Amino acid sequence: MAIRANPERTAAWTQRMRAAADDEDFPLPAVDTIVTHPDGPPSILLVAPDIVPGTDEVFVAVDAMSVQEQAVLNDLLHVLGDRSGVGGALTYVRHLGGLEYEIFGSDPATAVRLSQLQPGVAQLIWQVLHFIAALGQYFPDDAASTPRHVSIG
């Protein structure tokens, strides 16, 4: 059975997406990038001010999640790859500003932007990304996220 998007909500989503693209406003925390790895957990970077002092970006410590939380994350990543229509397995997601994202599969020729998708599908994918950010904010990798000064020479 297909789940259909409510036309009123889809119209509101489309309007919000256009407005966010104009003023670069988006709810935080937000996914900045996701990189999947065939032999390990994904690498996730969030835009999440005030979680780690001194930075607005936070790496997620996926290994610190429980087995159940990692299973939910993996299911969400599967939904991203499946519903976005990218070819092959999901490999990379990047934030382009506002509510716009670009999603890549193992076939790079099939990369898609949220704005290219049907509004109901774009809304679903954005909600999945927002849920990933909401989950990830509770597992900051403080060591990876903390800015460091490095001396050369």
Q: 22-43: string of b/e by CB count within 10 Å (b at 16+)?
A: eeeebeebbbbbbebeeeeebb
pLDDT band at 108; cut points 50, 70, 90 = confident
Asked if residues 144 and 41 have their Cβ atoms less than 8 Å apart, the reply is no
| Across 67-74, average pLDDT | 96
Single pTM value for the model: 0.82
